[in-house]
Amino acid sequence: MAIEAALKGGFKLKIAGSKAGYFSLNHPKSNQIEFLGQVTDKELIELYKGAKGFLALSRDEDFGITPVEAMSVGTPVIAFNGGGYKETVLNRKTGLLFDNYSVDGLISAIKQFNNLIIDPKDCIEQSLKFSKERFKKEIKEFVEKAIKESGKK
């Protein structure tokens, strides 16, 4: 969908990852689409940092770490309004959630996204809600509270 939207909508798209699915199909050659293949973690961070936005397009992602990774370096996300994206992406604050799951719906979302002003600091702040440190702290507090309450009974 992202490739078709880029070609139809006239925007540039970089795709990182090992070849699977659409990668293996014969697609039209275009200077708008760049297939990067497998990248290192360091290269991925640089891609996130250099991106205007990150596309998260799974229909029903249970959580999805990639939008959080993108936001952790200040990059906003365009995501389908479903699954875990509804929890990780703050609509119109750290990115844009869209409902029309189609090529035209994505193109429309990208046009809306281009008119938004998103503060990279908001993206970073949102990503911290999903940090390992926060998780450890809250689990510890939860367990301590449960122990304390079980002792009262």
Predicted confidence (pLDDT) per residue in 50-108, tens digit = 999 999 999 989 888 999 999 999 999 999 999 999 999 999 999 999 999 999 999 99
Which domain CATH number covers 110?
3.40.50.2000
Which residues, listed in sequence order, are joined to residue 35 by a DSSP beta bridge? 15
More confident residue, 32 or 70: 70
Name the domain count of the chain. Answer: 1
In the three-class reduction of DSSP (H, G, I as helix; E, B as strand; rest coil), residue 1 is classed as coil
In the predicted model, what is the mean pLDDT of the chain?
91
pTM, full prediction: 0.85
Q: Which residue type, as a one-letter code, is found at position 28?
A: P
Number of Cβ within a 10 Å radius of residue 116: 14
Does position 112 have pLDDT exceeding 90, yes or no?
Answer: yes
| Residue 41 domain boundaries | 2-152
